[in-house]
Structure 1
């Protein structure tokens, strides 16, 4: 007598509903983690770009001011230095402290610079002015030629730097050096980064 083999139950194929739900939740969590990491990377990149932009801007303005204040013989805040004097004095002769003092902060720095034209022995005295207009730092005075020297052609309102939130100049009591407090707004935000520049006429620049 032939015995028939008992039929074995067939195992179900595929995933159960619970397994599908667990997989979906894990996928959502993984995608959320990737999105958070991506946002963090974007923010880090933005911060690095903003910091680099601020540093370049500060370096640009400090290098320019270092040269021009170094060429100046007198500094004033909010008023022009004298441009004439009675011989044998020159306009560069140190002025009475009562003219420069008291040291008061002003959003306006003016420099007295002696200029000698090419091929001439005559020296003229010109005033350079740096001042804040809205969020722009502007410059009035003779333009800089291709050779790096000041020309006889003056320009008014030349743009030096944008996104400037503060520009405060405090000139010493003897009109020979100035402390500048400069604030720049970080691009794309309301944050402000401030730096202090100590500038000496005919001397070096120190950044704190």
Structure 2
């Protein structure tokens, strides 16, 4: 699954877009475990961000980094997935609303030796995972509506995390839960208590004046 009990994923959506190489390098140097790469198409969500050419350039600069690619696009196709895999994706998640054959796409991603995940919007029911647990590496729970950084966590989404955790444990599967949306040092412990293990942090990290202090505060809160 992963080497550490908890992982911090830095979302470059909240980084300085004119100095992304600098910000990613600093993030990795101070202890961010994963670089979270939000892909938006101005169709599935009302924003547009990064394409595979950009990921390829970033992977070239940081070949040992774990790149977590969250596809907020419609449709999700094997050709698009291949573009991101070839560019250096380590994990890929997508939304079931954007893929007709969800099971087939999960097995396709895993066949490429990339971790495959399902991303759930705040209003997407977790029950659909029941039929996918055999082919999942992780579940990305959106605790905000996707599209923009800096939003506050929607409280009701945390109960969804707990339900998914119970599903995974009942099925005895090695699947981790990632949470994205409004994560900061003041609520990360509460989110963890519902069953999350990977925490996507955007403005709470990249917006901090001292990023080493920011990551230390996140770890301290988790270990409290």
Q: Which has the higher helix share?
A: 2
TM-score when scaled to structure 2? Answer: 0.23
Greater share of residues in strand: 1
* Higher RCO, 1 vs 2 (CA within 8 Å, ≥6 residues apart): 2
Q: Which protein has the larger Cα radius of gyration, Structure 1 or Structure 2?
A: 1
